[in-house]
Structure 1
Amino acid sequence: MASHGQPSANIAYDPLPLTTEDHASNALYNAPPSPDPRLTSFHDANNMQPGLLPEETSAIPAGAAQPRFMAAPLYDQGGSMTRDSFASNSIHGGQPSEYGSVYALNDPRGGPYRDDPSGDGYRDSVPMSPVGHSRALNEKNDVYAPPRQKSRKTMLIVAAVVALLLIAAAVIVPVYFTVIKPKNNAADSSSPSDDKDHTGTAKPTATKTPENVVTGGDGSIITMENGETFTYRNKFGGYWYYDPNDPYSGSGKAQEWTPAINETFNYGIDKIRGVNVGGWLNPEPVRYLFFLVVILACTHDPFYAPALYQKYFPRAVDEWTLTTLMAADTAGGGLKQMEDHYRTFITEKDFAEIAGAGLNYVRVPIGYWAVEKRSNEPYLEGVSWEYFLKAIKWARKYGLRINLDLHAVPGSQNGWNHSGRLGNIGFLMGPMGYANAQRTLNVIRILAEFISQPQYKDVVSMFGILNEPSGSPNIGQQQLASFYFEAYNIVRQAGGGSGADKGVWISLHDGFLSRQSWFNMFPNADRVSLDSHPYLAFGGQSAAPMSSYADTPCSAWGASINETMAGFGLFNAGEFSNAVNDCGLFLNEVGEGTRYEGTYTKAATTRVGSCTPWTDWQNYTPQMKTEIRQFAMASMDALQNYFFWTWKIGNSSESGVVETPAWSYQLGLENGWMPEDPRDADGTCGNISPWTPPLQSWQTGGAGAGNIPASVTAQYGWPPASISRGDAVANMLAYTPTGTIQTLTASTVTAASGEHVTHTADPGNGWNNAADNSPMYVEISGCTYLDPWVDPGTANPGACAGAAAINRRAPAPAPIPNPLITPPPTA
């Protein structure tokens, strides 16, 4: 086959047959000769000039003209023909093809047909037909009557089988052999399913994927672990990839413009177009209001699995109360209800659809109980981690990268329900503030060591070490910066140091402080991104129509974001939504109403209007959808690197429908108020106060990365001198670093009967850097600690505190133990 841009005149083509057998009469008759392209009649019929083709008589019988192609000719940049063929733009009989002048080969967008459009980088390439399908088969059937045959049924069957085989070869073979093979340290992040879930309930038997089918594009069929199937849809040239012989391959590609997992993502140039999977592994019932206006933005995360909480309304207000009530409700399913939620709320199909929506990143919030919990804490320990392992497998398969977000920590970093327990702030505040921070550093270290392993770091490529800490007005920037600096050092040590290939990017939330206040705080810090969550919903409520917000994101955020990219480095909006008011189920707090309707019980409010026009999405007018889409695109362009909150929202158990539509990307995509192609947002704001890439070398792990001045260590070294609403750290309750190292690991990939697996993949031991062998923070024997969520105003008891506790060390570094193998995920 001629390559792109190369002539094909050297290819000898079989001549057209000049005789045909009439099978009914066994008679032979002469077919009419092909028209001579040098005749005026041929020119008139096909818009071609006589004499364009060279004289060619080597294989053409007398009386027949040179054979011609049906495909359009390709042109080089000079405009000359690069292929000796004719393009017919005249269809004789039947209806015109929607694909252009020739059936299925010419796309209305004007892009040329290519054998492997995903490989050449052209945005307008025409994708190949899915396996088993043809775009123009019906058109061809309408135009061409089938010839008389001895056995029409037999011939049709044979033709269909041949066509399917050819199409399958055209789709599967090129993708498979052009996929970039990954490094040799591949293994599988998924775990084999055992026969029962954590409660002993038998699981459905999964249907196996056909042997040796390791990749596919638009239209391919996916079989999930539970045996259900779906059709993969991706019109952007993306393809999935999973090979059981090489399960850690990073060959999946979300879209043709997004680097595959085993290719380099150029931060600052390649845009993060992402979405959260909120409400999945960290279920949230409500959005607890913290009224803070920073450039028209207030922020904290809304709840997105309402039915899970409505069963226990109004007692369940956070995951602490929810799991407590579930555990007591043995007749209703107990804590198995939580795992049922993990298993069903987000599945492999969601990850496939996220890639198909043109997105390339997924932010996955988790609670600290994915790693560990204390005996008196009611959470379902460790099970959400097993489902996070599934997320890694699915993301790798579909070419998506993950931002792992630590959403809830011991004592709560903000007092909101999504932190695990509604109420007090006990992280870096009050008498347990320092001890809770030490325990959180344990969790960060364990997670960092796992995701820094070569099997995972290219998929879990960003780590949000703490979601929405209340830096202002509660914790304080000095204390928060000290914690961030210690966490930074922990993550970098887990990766083996500084450098582009050393572990993951670190995302630091601004703590509700101005972004400018973080500029130059950690000069030369390696691969650090500043995270903000700009929302309009929780500022002043307004009766203004949706159309009035068309340019608000551009004017409110655009210039500030560009300033941050220049003054700090990479910026990412970890959360934003389409909401311009607080209308929506449980958006503020369980049963607490809304400001928009004047029913909010936590503060005096004046009714602005009814929420119905905003939440009744089934009756949105086309104009309303257009206005929401305009707002969404303005937000995307202004924020540049973003994660929409959230991908999906669960239905209300009472109404059976989504009651917070402004927060669901999936619902907006299905109903026309989110852009089908997120690239359509580019340029919406007109590039206000532009920032010019690339990032500084040290910001991306290049020259100078990690060379942090000693003055920074002196100012922000751990621990801070004092704790907000506490005391000098030397007098605070503390843990001692003498504990055994805990690891998180994935189970090895083992071959099921009949699968073509030739080796067992190594999932790693959960600990990337063997030199990171300092013991964990644990309680001091004989000491009594306060409740981690104690009122921060409680007096510091003083016992078991002081420099002796803080500086106590084990006699010798504890060796890294054998991995504590995480049980395999359930189906």
Structure 2
Amino acid sequence: MGNAAIKLRGVNLGSWLVLEKWMVPSLFEGLGATDETTWCVELGPAAAERLRAHWQRWITREDFAWLAERGINAVRIPVGHWIFGPDYPYHPSYGEARHPFVEGGIAVLDNAMSWAQEFGLQVVLDLHAAPGCQNGFDNGGIKDVCEWHTRPEYLEHSLTVLERLAERYGRHPALHAVEALNEPRWDVPTDYLKAYYLQAYERIRRHAPAEQVAVVFHDGFRDFREYLGFMQAPAFSNVLFDIHRYQCFERGDIDMDIYGHMRKAAGEWKTEADAIITELGLPTFCGEWSLGLDLKVVSLWAQGPFNHALERMDDFQQNVAYRGYAAAQLATFEKYQGWFFWNYRTETTPAWCFRECVERGWLPSSFA
């Protein structure tokens, strides 16, 4: 199987090539912008210098070294559909700016691939923000807009970007996988999504051989059983299924105490893992998870109340709770082909910052 059989223990390098306001609030200070699109539009010509400085500062070669030292063997790198420069279709949120996005991200990605190779990390390249936005979240590029599936040119451009990524890095020693699309929303029609995934596979495979590079598709917030029989061998080879698991976005989770969170992570999620492993016929990884239980710190959109499991605990009890919640999740996600913590770094939210979770002892100091 080559590298396909590796157990991935990884982190996401989010808010680097696709900005998310809650992770880097300092970049958004004094602006009305809520996502990378409106940030670039609002700043106009001033965006380039500021964003390029962020690219240089947010993730460096030293970060790859730090991860490798701790036994992390993979990174998932979110990219926007504008990564190759101004050939993307227009969206009304751009206003007067035909091409609002800052150019030069591809050089940053080239560096990341070199650093990954140098330190022996596998890379999952993830199309995180598609034209027209596939989910209406800030991480999809345009908050409150979900139009990716409404225009053929948005779909075609997404496929072109995937093919160009595969062409550029398809034989790069560090490339483990290309992910067709991050978190397409539940109301994107399943048939449309599946048809896109099939085309994505074909386009990526033109340049990235199955023995070297996996093709990943996300569950689109649907039950895994909607994909039974989908993209199976022998017609398809080296396909991975991606699920994201959080416990801070739904009312029932928000209202739960820490024992409920641990029980869900090591109970319901473990039962789900057994079912996926038994029934789906595709290796699966958990592409995003965190220790986040407080919705208020991550959300630009959610309605309160923002009660959460840790709010009345002292520091020692909080540390115990975070360690327990981390261990319960890891015990489950280790059943899969692997996992990627969201995120490697944040400015103000320790439970979402891998580096801080390790330094505070909430996560293990070694993953080897």
Partner in structure 1 of residue 226 of structure 2:
517
Q: Specify the SS of the correspondent of 2:51.
A: helix
Q: Determine which of 301, 305, 310 is the counterpart of 2:24.
A: 305
Give 2:121's match in structure 1, choosing from 389, 392, 400.
Answer: 400
The CA deviation at 1:594 is: 5.4
Structure 1: 5+ residue stretches without partners: 1-262, 286-302, 598-607, 615-619, 651-657, 680-827
1:547 to partner: Cα distance: 4.3
Report whether the alignment pairs 1:265 with 2:6.
Answer: no
Aligned to 1:629: 323
Preserved contact between residue 632 and residue 674 of structure 1 (Cα < 8 Å): yes
User: Where do 1:169-318 residues align within 5 Å?
Assistant: 264-265=2-3, 267=5, 270-285=6-21, 303-312=22-31, 315-318=32-35
Q: Give how far 1:622 is off.
A: 3.0
> Which residue identity lines up with residue 442 of structure 1 in the other structure?
T
Corresponding residue number in structure 1 for 2:360: 671
How is 1:593-672 mapped onto 2 (pairs within 5 angstroms)? 595-597=304-306, 608=307, 621-640=315-334, 641-650=338-347, 658=348, 660-672=349-361
What percent identity do the matched residue pairs reach? 26
Pick from 523, 546, 550 the counterpart of residue 262 of structure 2: 550
SS of 1:517's equivalent in the other structure is helix
1:94-113 to structure 2, matched below 5 A, reads none
Counterpart pick for 1:439 among 157, 169, 185: 157
Distance in 1, Cα, partners of 2:309 & 2:29 = 23
In structure 2, distance between residues paired with 1:343 and 1:281: 11
Question: Greater strand share, 1 or 2?
Answer: 2
* Counterpart residue type for residue 631 of structure 1: Y
* AA of the residue aligned to 2:332: A
**Relative to 1, partners in 2 of residues 1:610 and 1:529: Cα closer, same or farther, differing over 3 Å?**
closer
Counterpart-to-counterpart distance in 1, 2:286 and 2:222: 15
Q: Deviations over 1:470-503 (max 9, x none)?
A: 2x22x2111111110011011112235xx424xx
DSSP 3-state at the match of 1:588: coil
Structure 2: distance between partners of 1:327 and 1:437: 27
Superposed displacement of residue 595, structure 1? 2.2
Q: Report which of the two has the higher share of helix.
A: 2
State the distance in 1 between where 2:123 and 2:75 align: 5
Residue type of the partner of 2:265?
P
What is the CA deviation profile of residues 614-651 of structure 1, one whole-angstrom value per residue up to 9, with x for unaligned ones? 8xxxxx6233212211211221221221000001102x
AA partner of residue 424 (structure 1):
V
Instruction: Could you tell me which runs of 5 or more consecutive residues in structure 2 were left unpaired when the two chains were aligned.
Output: 89-96
The one-letter code matched in structure 1 to 2:112 is: A
TM-score by length of 1: 0.41
How has the CA–CA distance of structure 1 residues 670 and 427 changed in structure 2, closer, same or farther, with 3 Å as cutoff?
same
> How many residue pairs are counted as aligned between the two chains?
352
Misfit runs of 4+, over 6 Å:
none
How far off is 1:522 after superposition? 2.0
Q: Is the 8 A contact 1:596 1:610 kept in 2?
A: no
**Aligned CA distance change for structure 1 residues 609 and 672 (closer, same or farther; 3 Å):** closer
Q: Measured at CA, do residues 370 and 547 of structure 1 come closer, stay the same or move farther in structure 2, by a change above 3 Å? A: same
Alpha-carbon distance in structure 1 between the residues aligned to 2:227 and 2:193: 11
Q: Does 1:561 align with 2:270?
A: no
Work out the CA distance in 2 between the residues paired with 1:593 and 1:464.
27
The one-character-per-residue Cα deviations of 1:502-543 (angstroms, maximum 9, x if unpaired) are xx1011001111111112122211100111111111012545
1:452 aligns with 2:170: yes
Change (3 A) 1:593 1:673: same
Match of 2:68 among 355, 358, 362: 355
Larger radius of gyration: 1
User: Shift in Å at residue 613 of structure 1?
Assistant: 5.5
1:551–1:340 Cα change, 3 Å: same
Secondary structure of the residue aligned to 2:355 is: helix
Aligned partners of 1:564, 1:544: CA distance in 2, in Å? 25
Amino acid in structure 2 at the alignment position of 1:462: A
Once residues 242 and 312 of structure 2 are traced to their aligned partners in structure 1, the CA distance between those partners, rounded to angstroms, is 32
Which of 1 and 2 has higher RCO (CA within 8 Å, sep 6+)?
2
Aligned counterparts of 1:440 and 1:637: Cα–Cα separation in 2: 35
Q: Give distance in 1, aligned partners of 2:208 and 2:365.
A: 37
| RMSD, aligned α-carbons | 2.2
